[in-house]
Structure 1
Amino acid sequence: MCSGGFAKCLGITLIPLAIISFLCNILLLFPGGKPAEKNEDITDEAWFFGGILGSGVLMIFPALVFLGLKNNDCCGCCGNESCGKRFAMFFSIIFAGVGLLGAGYSFIVSAVAINRGPKCLVASNNTYIYPFHGGDYLSNKTLWSECSGPEDIVTWHLTLFSMLLIIGLVQVVLCGFQVINGLIGTIFGDCCGCCGGGD
């Protein structure tokens, strides 16, 4: 497969992942699927916007660049027919780096949120706090009863942040592939040729 064609496949994959990440982060602002009474009742990591900014907005730009590489028709400079393609592939490495930063940010925020646990209403003092410490609730489900509200907040928190964690990891891998693909395309050019040289 051509380096440009491979990049297009990566772009097609990154778009839906970015949209899902965006939606997951939005849902985290509604603990248990319901509007919070106060912003302070929402888990802090939801406000870091790892899914909206990191795996969402910052991933859209690399995805669009990758999608355009297959159709790039910059076919000449300095008498070298493949120069434009090589420059485009080099340019994609920079955007892949942006994608790596965004996905890495989302991954780290999600990992911290999972380890910390959700902010929830604790019946003993009727306030919103973080009742879990150091991920202890992950291996001991009986601790979940410490959260009296919102309903199913632990499941809600774990499901959405786990999705963001996995999506962030997948995006890191895909952007990493594009860094390698971009280097190959920069050094060797597009194997499919240029200016209508084939697909």
Structure 2
Amino acid sequence: MCSFGFARSLGFALIPLATCCIVANILLFFPGGATNYVQDNHVSLFPWLFMGIGGGGIAVFLPAAVFLSMGKCASNWVTDSCAMCGSVLASLVGLAGSAYCFVVSMLGLLKGPYCFTSLGWAYPFDDDTAGSYLFDRDRWIKCIQPVNVVEWDVTLLSILVGLSVLEFIILFLQLVNGMVNAVCRPCCYKQEYSLNA
């Protein structure tokens, strides 16, 4: 069985995930679709860390491109092993990006949104223990503007957390696949050669 086909299918799976991460990160700049908050610098710190654009997006597009370019099975073990080693390195880059996206998105969820409160612009849930505001919707009214900013941030950050977990799983699968094939494929070729000799 050719492991390159498996790698290509994983590459195809990563493209929509990375695209959705980029879109979710961009939407965090525009709560409720309004553009004035980013212009007035009244947006949370977390979108500016580009966890979805750089981490879950660009850093995941790289391994996706590598996996898709692997094509059909090569004809000799040297080429196969080099291709698999390249996919392992690309997987490591993607794993780092998806892990970064996960960590920053989780921190954003725990800290809560930056919004206008009765005391001015602030992070009103910053003093909460471990994001307890997430389970108490009655406290969300602390954020006066942007309208529904808590729902907006929680939804998009949760999407980024979920997507980054899926990306991490897919990239880990290819990391294992690449390592096993880079090590085992030369042995298989040698066995085939000795059987044919």
What TM-score do the two structures reach when normalised by structure 1? 0.87
Question: For structure 1, which segment, 111-120 or 28-37, has the greater mean C-alpha deviation from structure 2 after superposition?
Answer: 28-37
Question: For structure 1, which segment, 169-178 or 128-137, has the greater mean C-alpha deviation from structure 2 after superposition?
Answer: 128-137
Match of 1:86 in 2: 81
What is the distance in 1 between the residues matched to 2:72 and 2:95? 24
Q: Is the 8 A contact 2:2 2:73 kept in 1?
A: no
Runs of 4+ in structure 1 deviating by more than 4 angstroms, as ranges, are none
Instruction: Work out whether 1:29 is the aligned partner of 2:20.
Output: no
The structure-2 alpha-carbon separation of the partners of 1:144 and 1:105, relative to structure 1 and needing over 3 Å to count, comes to same
For the residue of structure 2 that corresponds to 1:18, the secondary structure is: helix
The letter for the 2-side match of 1:101 is: A
Question: For structure 1, which segment, 36-45 or 159-168, has the greater mean C-alpha deviation from structure 2 after superposition?
Answer: 36-45
What is the distance in 1 between the residues matched to 2:59 and 2:40? 25
The letter for the 2-side match of 1:180 is: V
Match of 2:153 in 1: 157
Determine which of 154, 164, 167 is the counterpart of 2:163.
167
Note the residue ranges of structure 2 that are not aligned, 5 or more in a row: 190-197
What is the distance in 2 between the residues matched to 1:117 and 1:32? 16
Match of 1:103 in 2: 98
Percent identity among equivalent residues?
Answer: 36
Match of 1:131 in 2: 124
Q: Is the 8 A contact 2:88 2:178 kept in 1?
A: yes
For the residue of structure 1 that corresponds to 2:24, the secondary structure is: helix
Determine which of 162, 175, 180 is the counterpart of 1:179.
175
For the residue of structure 2 that corresponds to 1:131, the secondary structure is: coil
What is the distance in 2 between the residues matched to 1:36 and 1:185? 52
What is the distance in 1 between the residues matched to 2:56 and 2:19? 9
What is the distance in 1 between the residues matched to 2:2 and 2:40? 49
What is the distance in 2 between the residues matched to 1:13 and 1:35? 32
What TM-score do the two structures reach when normalised by structure 2? 0.88
For the residue of structure 2 that corresponds to 1:148, the secondary structure is: coil
Q: Is the 8 A contact 2:98 2:165 kept in 1?
A: yes
For the residue of structure 1 that corresponds to 2:144, the secondary structure is: strand
Match of 1:40 in 2: 41
For the residue of structure 2 that corresponds to 1:128, the secondary structure is: strand
Note the residue ranges of structure 1 that are not aligned, 5 or more in a row: 76-80, 194-199
Q: Is the 8 A contact 1:54 1:101 kept in 2?
A: yes
Instruction: Work out whether 1:66 is the aligned partner of 2:59.
Output: no
What is the distance in 1 between the residues matched to 2:154 and 2:171? 25
The letter for the 2-side match of 1:7 is: A
1 or 2, which has the higher helix percentage? 2
The letter for the 1-side match of 2:33 is: G
The letter for the 1-side match of 2:27 is: L
What is the distance in 1 between the residues matched to 2:88 and 2:63? 9
Deviation (angstroms), 1:108: 0.3
What is the distance in 2 between the residues matched to 1:51 and 1:36? 21
Question: Residue by residue, what CA displacement relative to the aligned partner does 1:105-144 show, whole Å, maximum 9, x if unpaired?
Answer: 000000000001101110x22x221001231211211100
The structure-2 alpha-carbon separation of the partners of 1:179 and 1:119, relative to structure 1 and needing over 3 Å to count, comes to same
Q: In the comparison of the two structures, how many residue pairs are matched?
A: 184
